[in-house]
Amino acid sequence: MKTFDKLLVISLLVLTLAGCREEYEPILPPDQTIVTYPDPMVGDVKGFFLLNEGNMGSNKATLDYFDYETGEYSCNIFPQRNPNVVKELGDVGNDLQVYGERLYAVINCSNLVEVMNLSTAEHIGAISIANCRYITFDKGFAYVSSYAGPVQIDPNARPGKVVKIDTATLSIVGECVVGYQPEEMAVVGDRLYVANSGGYRVPNYDTTVSVIDLATFTELKRIEVAINLHRLELDRYGYLWVSSRGDYYSKQSALYAIDTRTDQVATKLDLPVGNMTRLGDSLYVYSNAFDKQAQKHSISYAIVNLVSREVVDRHFIKDGTESQIVVPYGVAVNPETRDILVTDAGDYVTPGKLHCYNADGVRQWSVTTGDIPAHIAFTHRRLKPTTNTNPDQNDTNPYITSVFDYRPAVGQFVNELPKYEAGDTQEKMNAKVLAAIGNNARSQISLGGYGGYVVVGFDHTIPNVSGLRDFRVLGNAFYSGTASPTDPIGGSSEPGIIMVARDANGNGLPDDEWYEIAGSAHRDVKSEAFYPLAQKAGLDVAFYSDYQITYYRPASEPEVATENYIRWVDNKQKEGYMDKNEYHLQSYFPQWIDADSLVFSGSRLPQNGIDTSGKGTNFVLYKFGYGYADNDKNTADDASIDIDWAVDSEGKAVTLSGIDFIKIYSGVNQQNGWIGENSTEVCGVEDLHALGERIATR
């Protein structure tokens, strides 16, 4: 199906429409992935929803959500938030728009418009409209284009219509007949413009744009443009840009501009258009035009300057990664950051991809979506979290539900992540940690320098499933490039060692035997890809299983950047100081702990921070192979852990059926110049099985 336009596919799939919400099916949990660095200081655009069309007849329209604050992309959120809506969203998601505090999804072959709460994605209501296509809004009313007949190629197909809906009551209050098989619409003043395609009447396509008077809701006229019209975008100068898909044979796709002051075509650009979106004076256009005679696609990513009304760029993707996009299908531009989002339908029958490019056309991240990702709607409301996580697993919460102890070592983010306030006790700090990283909050805490730790628990036992990773520890590690088993990958990896325990005595407390997850350095430190570089740089590359360090509270608390700030001594005949840098001037010693020293012990990893400049200006923290927290990107498989990697205090493998508690502690003792100590940050822990994720083990 890669070589066919979606309307041509209809001729191969002549369907008789049936109800799509009649039988119950198992509800699958959403798939959640961190795709980019969290940004707690996002602007008015908090995130976006993406509607995946799903292949016709498959009843697989799904809704995804991306949160700019957390950097998390969540697939298929609708069933979890609407467990009582059977058959979920339905068959073929054709449009998605935000209006007021509601989200509207047009579900074409299910003959309905699904209306959801913008903050929760929960079902509010549904409006039944035959063969509905697109939706737009004006002054409290929604307007939905409708083919008004069954999904089938028919030279005698009836004219379409636009349905008027009162958004307060979700009731239909009017209908207006327009041209054949109407598509996108645009409101211009007191008129509604409708692109007519005539797609069912092939080869006798419609060639007009209908103009509706909104006051009387009647059609005023039709403007002759070109065959098989589809997309509409209004610019700031009164020109309405409309795309023609051509006939896929001799008549090629093109772009036209209608002057809405005269309702005459003012401009034609020989630019094929698959989809388009406007931001400011730029019209972003991708095309995937198929020439049936030549049997080939012509793909482009263009920008039209709406002032000069000319194509100024035919390659807005600048880094060469457009070659990895199989079938471009949707495009949107963040109005604040100008990031460009391009979806890829792939083979139309398996999950697609979403790619994010910055304003300069360089790819920032990619993520797997549902089938045929198509329609993006930005939102000024963050989607509220839900604890109704997985009804198929007895409502188990995949995330941290308890924090038993938080004892960071000294460090530049201690007393800040989370924030210490005068009078806070250990119990209050534990509660702040839970608020930060529990229940999928996805904020972060710092464990400080070597040895600092946090102990967390769950509302269930995380099972040990043979052949699969079992849980994921979220951190804030990052690097550029692709991780390789042989080439050192550098960025910011501050690995924490992970320990696990069962509630063997059944008292709900982490007072049973602990087992350490043996990561790559535990097994063979010299196999780490960065090991030769670290050795050459003169770093301490030893791995110790019996390491101990003591930090001493400073006699006074300097209020300026200070060298030799906090003294430490270890059991390997080494000692040193932690400096206070100019960026963090609060106390680095945890202020709720009433002690003159802090003692930590455990395994210690080799130092991985290398000054690549040789001048103390550029420190690169190289990633370890696997098995540690805050070591790999949260999106990478090696951010996930297999319980079968656990070993006892003598380093011998153990067999655990599951775990109830996790302890994470900073694993490296190293100062990295002006960027400070190597300190593990934790953003959460996820039970992969409760989330329905299947990641093969090593």
Number of folded domains in the chain?
Answer: 2
Task: Report the alpha-carbon angle 625-695-642, nearest 5.
Answer: 60
Residue in this structure with the two tokens 């038993």, named with its chain if needed: 404
Burial (CB count within 10 angstroms: exposed 0-12, middle 13-18, buried 19+), residue 592 = middle
Residues 584 and 566: their CA atoms lie apart, in Å, by 14
Q: Assess if residue 322 is contained within a domain.
A: no
Question: Residue type for 370, please?
Answer: G
What average pLDDT does range 400-415 have in this prediction?
Answer: 97
Q: Assess if residue 17 is contained within a domain.
A: yes
Say if residues 256 and 242 touch (Cβ distance below 8 Å): yes
- The structure's pTM equals 0.56
What average pLDDT does range 252-271 have in this prediction?
Answer: 96
Least confident span in 51-65, 164-178, 472-486, 626-640: 472-486
pLDDT at 1 over 50: no
Instruction: Give residue 211's Cα distance to chain centre.
Output: 39
Q: What is the CA radius of gyration of the chain?
A: 29
User: What percent of the chain is helix, strand and coil (3-state, nearest 5)?
Assistant: 10, 40, 50
DSSP state of 629: B
Amino acid 5: pLDDT: 41
> What CA–CA distances, in Å, run from 473 to 138, 417, 631, 632, 694?
46, 17, 10, 10, 15
pLDDT at 398 over 70: yes
What average pLDDT does range 495-510 have in this prediction?
Answer: 94
Q: Assess if residue 403 is contained within a domain.
A: yes
Amino acid 396: pLDDT: 77
Beta partners for residue 264, in sequence order? 259
Residue 522 backbone phi and psi in degrees, to 5 = -60, -35
Residues 362 and 169: their CA atoms lie apart, in Å, by 44
Say if residues 377 and 394 touch (Cβ distance below 8 Å): no
- For residue 80, the SS3 value is helix
pLDDT at 3 over 80: no
Residue in this structure with the two tokens 């019996």, named with its chain if needed: 546
pLDDT one-digit tens code per residue, 113-131 = 999 999 999 999 999 999 9
Task: Quote the domain boundaries for residue 516.
Answer: 394-687
- For residue 332, the SS3 value is strand
Q: Which helix (H) or strand (E) holds 184?
A: strand 182-188
- For residue 675, the SS3 value is helix
- For residue 33, the SS3 value is strand
Q: Assess if residue 341 is contained within a domain.
A: no
What would the DSSP string read from start to end of 617-655? S-EEEEPPSSS-BTSS-TTSGGGEE-GGGEE-TTS-B--
CATH of the domain at 48: 2.130.10.10
What would the DSSP string read from start to end of 229-253? EEEEEE-TTSEEEEEE---SSSSPP
Q: Which helix (H) or strand (E) holds 435?
A: helix 426-437
What average pLDDT does range 398-417 have in this prediction?
Answer: 96
Residues 271 and 243: their CA atoms lie apart, in Å, by 9
Q: Give the mean pLDDT of the chain.
A: 90
The closest alpha carbon to 124, from 66, 64, 165, 67, belongs to 165
* Domain shared by 676 and 543, yes or no: yes
pLDDT at 426 over 80: yes
pLDDT one-digit tens code per residue, 18-66 = 333 333 344 455 678 888 887 777 888 999 999 999 877 667 899 999 9
Q: Assess if residue 75 is contained within a domain.
A: yes
Question: Residue type for 190, please?
Answer: D
Say if residues 175 and 192 touch (Cβ distance below 8 Å): no
The closest alpha carbon to 60, from 90, 81, 30, belongs to 90
DSSP state of 534: H
pLDDT one-digit tens code per residue, 307-365 = 999 999 999 999 999 999 999 999 999 999 999 999 999 888 778 999 999 999 999 99
Amino acid 386: pLDDT: 73
Q: How far apart are the first and last CA of the chain?
A: 36
What tokens were used for 443? 């904020």
Q: Assess if residue 648 is contained within a domain.
A: yes
Domain boundary among 338, 353, 379: 379
Instruction: Give residue 297's Cα distance to chain centre.
Output: 30
Amino acid 17: pLDDT: 31
Tell me the CB-side half-sphere exposure of residue 494, using CA atoms within 13 A: 29
What average pLDDT does range 676-681 have in this prediction?
Answer: 95
Q: What is the dihedral of CA 144, 148, 154, 155, to 10 degrees?
A: -80
pLDDT at 594 over 90: yes
Percent share of the chain, pLDDT over 90: 76
pLDDT one-digit tens code per residue, 272-313 = 999 999 999 999 999 876 655 555 667 899 999 999 999 999
Domain boundary among 379, 407, 438: 379
Q: Strand (E) positions, 139-207? A: 141-146, 161-166, 171-177, 182-188, 191-196
Question: Residue type for 229, please?
Answer: L
pLDDT one-digit tens code per residue, 430-484 = 999 999 999 988 888 999 999 999 999 999 999 999 999 999 999 988 776 554 5
Domain boundary among 353, 379, 405: 379
Residue 391 pLDDT level (bands cut at 50, 70, 90): very low
Question: Residue type for 91, please?
Answer: D
pLDDT at 91 over 80: yes
pLDDT one-digit tens code per residue, 532-579 = 999 999 999 999 999 999 999 999 999 999 999 999 999 999 999 999
Amino acid 519: pLDDT: 97
- For residue 444, the SS3 value is coil
Residues 636 and 641: their CA atoms lie apart, in Å, by 11
Q: Assess if residue 643 is contained within a domain.
A: yes
What average pLDDT does range 238-245 have in this prediction?
Answer: 97
Burial profile 266-285: b = 16 or more Cβ within 10 angstroms, e = fewer: eeebebbbbbbbbeeebbbb
- Contacts of range 211-218, beta carbons closer than 8 Å, 24 or more positions apart: 211/263, 212/162, 212/176, 212/178, 214/138, 214/187, 214/190, 215/190, 217/164, 217/174, 217/176, 218/176
Amino acid 23: pLDDT: 38
